[in-house]
């Protein structure tokens, strides 16, 4: 009998020991590997930034007026609206100007980046005489040449109305009439837009627009008197398809001069209803398979993200959803197109050095809150699309990129000029004194039949309640072994304001990549890159002749090197053009001109590459689509420095200035 008891006792102890070992082992598996201080210090030495305010201190404000259905969660509803873009609005040949959307006074302001030497006066874009009232608020601005006359216009998108195009006229900046407001869609619609991307969707050679609305179309979210059936919340925490529609607007015509205009038309939606009505916070476009058409990524809150392969023809947009492949050890939510996470931002870059765009997606990754995972979708095959699948696997955990807090916009770029890719991310939700994550976790367990009713959501009071209000903005740099480390604290860029949008540009055209961050209900900042290392670089402003379709010239210029012939007439950014560096010791390096990707942040339409020391000239393969929709590619040899490269309709490559 005693032997049986002893055996049972030993088995019980063995089970207890195994349980402890499993718990400890699981903790080690779930914990991020540590990085020595010495490694972090060495890594941080490659970077240096100077922080400069982009706007004034502003009037303290933390909340907007909202519809009665949302009044008890007005802080939640008021959590977006800060945005920033960096662009060449003045026409000085470098992106020394900023567009800042400030929710503290719902202003949209254009002006020179502080310390850039820009001469542009500060301009406030006002919708007058178009209909506009207190039930509307700006959410973002997207500079671009929308009528293809060579001047930079600005698209502003809102909650409460459809976007407005502010068309640039020949009137000098700062004078009345320099920008003329124009409705993007007629008649005006009640939309609640949170993301806009610009791309030649149908391959006709002109920039089209992808408009992603968040709340259902028609919902008067900011109207204190609105009582509508559209005033709802998400129908599910993991599969909500009752949000605003995605609208694809095709470019139709443009006119410059004293009465500039741009006309877009909306064909029947190429997206399935279920895909079109996700709660989208960020959009991204990129030519993943090299066929000259931009594929589309929709980062959705409260439901699966979608990657859509572009199969369009001129005038007829068409997309087909593709999904990732699930492996034996892959959780369902780590399969592209099947996740249940909260997509908040998206960016493209080559993280594994194979020349194919990889995708980084921001999610909510709050420890002791909602610990999902950011996504680092890495390409796995040269033939990316295979039937209805796409060969992307998530490697965020092994790269050290899985966790950063409540994350929003994200951008990737080479801030050290050494050929490596760094990642900067905006974080934070609402700032207050009392942690309300317990109430939010209760909400996450609510029955889906109740979730879409605003009354079922817990109260969030401005100034009192805090949900991830003290996250800091990470700056990820890469160790020699390939893993990323957050060095923001060592660089002094670990701002704990609640931030939203990020924009990248080499503002000074000195080969050092800068960035700007838009903060919600706080001052926004520009981070000037002041690193001491001045390594060689290649900067590309890829442009094409402004205007309509032109017949190609009879003689095609040699593509072995760029001709020095100056451009005749105005030029416009070659949206969708790509560059591939062919030489050097740093592997394959590529870039595509898609400045408006992500959430609330628009980068300059330029490409910047770090070069090997002692580089004399660089062979570059360029690909582009002309205004007639014809695809071209060719090679040029360019010396280090900045170049404005004209991509012509006859397939020749000309250097138009630097």
584/640 Cα distance (integer angstroms):
12
**C-alpha closest to that of 450 among 233, 636, 637, 256:** 233
Model confidence over 331-389: pLDDT tens digits?
Answer: 999 999 999 999 999 999 999 999 999 999 999 999 999 999 999 999 998 899 998 99
71/76 Cα distance (integer angstroms):
10
For 33, which DSSP code?
Answer: P
**C-alpha closest to that of 253 among 293, 311, 206:** 206
Task: Decide: helix, strand or coil at residue 37.
Answer: helix
- The proportion of the chain whose per-residue pLDDT surpasses 70, expressed as a percent, equals 91
343/348 Cα distance (integer angstroms):
15
Q: Which CATH number is 44-529's, of 2.130.10.10, 3.40.50.10140, 3.30.420.130, 1.20.1560.10?
A: 2.130.10.10
For 192, which DSSP code?
Answer: B
Encoded tokens for 292: 């000259």
Residues 6+ apart with CB under 8 A from 537: 417, 511, 608, 609, 610, 611, 640, 641
Q: Does the pLDDT of residue 557 top 60, yes or no?
A: no
Model confidence over 509-524: pLDDT tens digits?
Answer: 999 999 999 999 999 9
Task: Decide: helix, strand or coil at residue 647.
Answer: strand
pLDDT computed for residue 656 by the predictor: 82
Encoded tokens for 462: 């401005």
Q: Kindly report the number of other CB atoms within 10 A of residue 284's CB atom.
A: 29
Quickly state the pLDDT bin for 35 (edges 50, 70, 90): low
Q: Does the pLDDT of residue 188 top 80, yes or no?
A: yes
Encoded tokens for 499: 């931030």
Q: Kindly report the number of other CB atoms within 10 A of residue 519's CB atom.
A: 24
pLDDT computed for residue 159 by the predictor: 98
For the chain, the farthest-separated pair of C-alpha atoms sits apart, in whole angstroms, at 103
Q: Does the pLDDT of residue 144 top 90, yes or no?
A: yes
Q: Evaluate whether 557 touches 653 at the Cβ level (below 8 Å).
A: yes
Least confident of 104-108, 548-552, 612-616: 548-552
Q: Does the pLDDT of residue 566 top 80, yes or no?
A: no
Model confidence over 415-473: pLDDT tens digits?
Answer: 999 999 999 999 999 999 999 999 999 898 888 889 999 999 999 888 899 999 999 99
Mean per-residue pLDDT, 308-316: 97
pLDDT computed for residue 7 by the predictor: 59
Q: Does the pLDDT of residue 559 top 50, yes or no?
A: no
pTM confidence score: 0.94
- The proportion of the chain whose per-residue pLDDT surpasses 90, expressed as a percent, equals 81
Encode burial over 174-191: b for 16+ CB neighbours within 10 A, e otherwise: eeeebbbbbbbbeeebbb
pLDDT computed for residue 119 by the predictor: 85
Quickly state the pLDDT bin for 533 (edges 50, 70, 90): confident
**C-alpha closest to that of 80 among 497, 596, 520, 523:** 520
For 458, which DSSP code?
Answer: P
pLDDT computed for residue 560 by the predictor: 46
pLDDT computed for residue 550 by the predictor: 74
How many CA atoms within 13 Å lie on the side-chain side of 122?
9
For 68, which DSSP code?
Answer: G
Quickly state the pLDDT bin for 26 (edges 50, 70, 90): very low
Give the rounded distance of the alpha carbon of 473 from its chain centre: 15
Quickly state the pLDDT bin for 58 (edges 50, 70, 90): confident
Encoded tokens for 465: 């309640």
Q: Does the pLDDT of residue 24 top 50, yes or no?
A: no
pLDDT computed for residue 254 by the predictor: 96
137/170 Cα distance (integer angstroms):
28
**C-alpha closest to that of 200 among 144, 155, 157:** 144
Quickly state the pLDDT bin for 414 (edges 50, 70, 90): very high
């Amino acid at each position: 009998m005693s032997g049986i008891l002893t055996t049972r006792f030993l088995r019980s102890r063995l089970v207890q020991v195994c349980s402890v070992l499993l718990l400890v082992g699981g903790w080690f598996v779930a914990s991020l590997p540590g990085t020595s201080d010495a490694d972090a210090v060495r890594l941080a030495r490659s970077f240096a930034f100077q922080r400069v305010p982009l706007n004034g201190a502003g009037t303290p404000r933390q909340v907007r007026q909202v519809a009665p259905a949302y009044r008890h969660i007005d802080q939640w509803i008021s959590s977006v609206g800060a945005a920033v873009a960096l662009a060449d609005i003045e026409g000085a040949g470098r992106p020394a100007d900023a567009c800042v959307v400030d929710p503290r006074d719902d202003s949209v302001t254009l002006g020179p980046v502080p310390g850039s030497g820009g001469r542009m006066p500060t301009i406030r874009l006002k919708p007058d005489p178009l209909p506009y009232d207190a039930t509307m608020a700006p959410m973002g601005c997207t500079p671009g040449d929308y009528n293809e006359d060579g001047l930079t216009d600005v698209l502003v998108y809102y909650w409460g109305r459809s976007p407005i195009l502010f068309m640039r006229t020949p009137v000098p900046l700062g004078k009345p009439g320099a920008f003329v407001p124009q409705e993007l869609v007629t008649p005006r619609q009640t939309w609640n837009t949170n993301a806009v991307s610009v791309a030649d969707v149908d391959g006709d050679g002109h920039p089209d627009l992808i408009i992603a609305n968040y709340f259902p179309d028609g919902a008067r979210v900011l109207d204190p008197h609105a009582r509508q059936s559209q005033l709802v919340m998400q129908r599910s925490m993991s599969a909500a398809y009752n949000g605003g529609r995605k609208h694809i607007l095709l470019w139709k015509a443009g006119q410059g001069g004293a009465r500039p205009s741009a006309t877009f038309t909306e064909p029947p939606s190429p997206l399935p209803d279920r895909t079109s009505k996700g709660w989208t916070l960020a959009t991204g476009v990129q030519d993943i398979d090299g066929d000259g058409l931009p594929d589309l990524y929709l980062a959705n809150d409260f439901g699966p993200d979608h990657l859509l392969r572009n199969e369009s023809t001129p005038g007829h947009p068409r997309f087909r959803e593709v999904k990732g492949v699930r492996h034996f050890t892959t959780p369902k939510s780590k399969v592209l197109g099947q996740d249940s996470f909260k997509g908040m931002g998206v960016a493209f870059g080559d993280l594994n050095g194979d020349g194919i765009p990889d995708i980084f997606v921001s999610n909510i990754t709050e420890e002791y809150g909602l610990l999902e995972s950011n996504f680092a979708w890495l390409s796995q095959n040269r033939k990316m699309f295979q039937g209805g699948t796409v060969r992307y696997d998530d490697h965020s955990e092994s790269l050290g990129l899985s966790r950063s807090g409540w994350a929003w916009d994200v951008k990737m770029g080479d801030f050290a000029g050494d050929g490596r890719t760094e990642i900067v991310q905006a974080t934070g939700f609402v700032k207050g004194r009392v942690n309300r994550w317990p109430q939010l976790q209760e909400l996450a367990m609510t029955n889906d039949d109740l979730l879409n009713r605003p009354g079922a959501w817990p109260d969030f009071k401005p100034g009192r309640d805090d949900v991830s209000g003290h996250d800091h903005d990470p700056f990820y740099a890469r160790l020699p072994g390939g893993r990323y480390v957050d060095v923001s604290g060592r660089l002094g860029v670990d701002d704990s304001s609640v931030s939203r949008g990020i924009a990248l540009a080499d503002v000074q055209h000195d080969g050092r990549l800068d960035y700007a961050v838009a903060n919600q209900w706080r001052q926004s900042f520009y981070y000037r890159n002041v690193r001491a290392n001045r390594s060689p670089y290649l900067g590309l402003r890829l442009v094409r002749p402004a205007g309509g379709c032109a017949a190609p010239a009879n003689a095609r210029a040699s593509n072995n090197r760029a001709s020095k012939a100056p451009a005749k007439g105005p030029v416009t950014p070659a949206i969708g053009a790509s560059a591939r560096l062919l030489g050097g010791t740093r592997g394959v390096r590529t870039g595509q001109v898609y400045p408006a990707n992500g959430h609330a942040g628009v980068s300059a339409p330029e490409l910047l590459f770090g070069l090997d020391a002692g580089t004399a000239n660089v062979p570059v393969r360029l690909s582009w689509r002309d205004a007639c929709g014809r695809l071209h590619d060719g090679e040029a040899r360019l010396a280090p420095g900045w170049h404005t490269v004209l991509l012509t309709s006859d397939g020749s490559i000309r250097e138009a200035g630097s």
